Structure 1
Amino acid sequence: MTDHITIRRVGAQEAAACIEALADVLIDCVEGGASVSFMLPISRDVARAFWRHVADGVAHGERALLIAQDTAGAIVGTVQLITAQPENQPHRADVAKMLVHRNARRRGIGQSLMNEIDRLARAENKSVLVLDTVTGGDAERLYRRAGWQRVGDVPNYALMPDGALCGTTFYCKQL
């Protein structure tokens, strides 16, 4: 299904150059109801600021950024591996902001991004991965299919973009 999608890691300069396209994906996901730390209405300035922070983290070696591009070069998805962890957790990383534009969903892009995150984590000598997602959301099926283990739920942990409370489910994966 992802025959026409390329998943790749981008460095700091390219991450900075992709801010507008990444902002488009983030805004689309939030406007589509994704609980990914942002509220409606999400402004382009807020989205740009977030991606500038990510690009800075890439530049400082604190995170890796993967993008999914279609044949026209448009960014249709992204995910991050946060490698900057406390001193007693050098073997662990967090997976964050797995986003796929609504127009590109149901094509295996999320699965491809997660497969590449696993490969990247192994290359970075990470053996434990952790992520969280909205309880009962579509992403839970993806994570379970990708071999993630549900650890538990925290009711009323966050807000949906419209302000409604939502639970958060935590997952881990042993590589």
Structure 2
Amino acid sequence: MNAINVRRVTTEEAAQRGEELAAALADVLIDCVEGGASVSFMLPLPREKALNFWRGVLGATACRERVLLVAETAQGLIVGTVQLITALPDNQPHRADVAKMLVHRDARRRGVAAQLMAAVDQAAHEEGKTVLVLDTVTGGDAERLYQRAGWQVAGVVPNYALMPDGAYCGTTFFHKQL
């Protein structure tokens, strides 16, 4: 795979190229769910449901409630993404949630996720955020990724969510102080 570029989707781009971006991001989401990722969606994941999810994310990006980062090939193909949710309660202006860290199966094991996590740290810094939180499937590959990126385990909740096939899974919560 060629070099990967991670970039922030601008508010203008989210508003102007929303459908095109939603389609590309839906491809990544569907691939991840079909690959067994527990990322809030169940099998089978209809394309329209994936598109509607990304339309909502892009709307929130256009309104500056989220930061959307994408990882692209030199040809402009989106192969990964992560979000920084910045629209939080008044008593948490210093905090953000990291969500939907997704890498297409064809792009895995090439450092894309690490690039996305470094970019989310930078975006959080730019947004004035000093505390980040996220959650992931207990025992999954992402746990090791987050720990290598300096995240600390806050705790584990057994049977917190479901895998796309309906099996229960535990969830590990992480935090990072920037």
Band of TM-score, shorter chain: over 0.9
1:111-150 Cα deviation digits (max 9, x unpaired): 0000010011011110000000000011001000000000
Matched residues in 2 for 1:19 and 1:12: separation?
14
Structure 1 residue 60: deviation in Å? 1.3
Kindly state the Cα deviation for residue 13 of structure 1 after the two structures are TM-superposed.
4.6
1:166 to 154, 169, 178: 169
From 118, 131, 134, the counterpart of 1:128: 131
2-structure distance, mates of 1:115, 1:144 = 13
* Number of equivalences: 174
SS class of match (1:18): helix
Q: Distance in 2 between matches of 1:124 and 1:61?
A: 10
| Pair 1:122–1:34, CA change in 2 (3 A) | same
1:34 and 2:46 equivalent? no
Q: Where do 5+ consecutive residues of structure 1 fail to align?
A: none
Which amino acid in 1 is paired with 2:148? R
**Aligned-residue offset at 1:61:** 1.0
Task: Determine helix, strand or coil for the equivalent of 1:78.
Answer: strand
Three-state SS of the structure 2 residue aligned to 1:19 is helix
RMSD over aligned Cα atoms: 1.1
Residue segments in structure 2 that go unaligned for 5+ positions in a row: none
The aligned counterpart of 1:115 is 118
**Where do 4+ consecutive residues of structure 1 move more than 4 Å?**
none
Give, in angstroms, the shift of residue 3 of structure 1: 6.6
Task: Map 1:7-46 to 2 at 5 A.
Answer: 7-15=6-14, 16=18, 17-46=20-49
One-letter amino acid of the structure 1 residue matched with residue 81 of structure 2:
T
Normalised by the length of structure 1, the TM-score is 0.97
TM-score normalised by the chain length of structure 2: 0.95
Q: Which one of the candidate residues 78, 82, 107 is aligned to 1:79?
A: 82
2:100 aligned to 94, 97, 100, which one? 97
Identity of aligned residues (%): 68
Equivalent-residue separation in structure 2 for 1:117 and 1:13 (angstroms) = 19
Specify the alignment match of 1:154 in structure 2.
157
Counterparts of 1:159 and 1:136 in 2: how far apart (Å)? 14
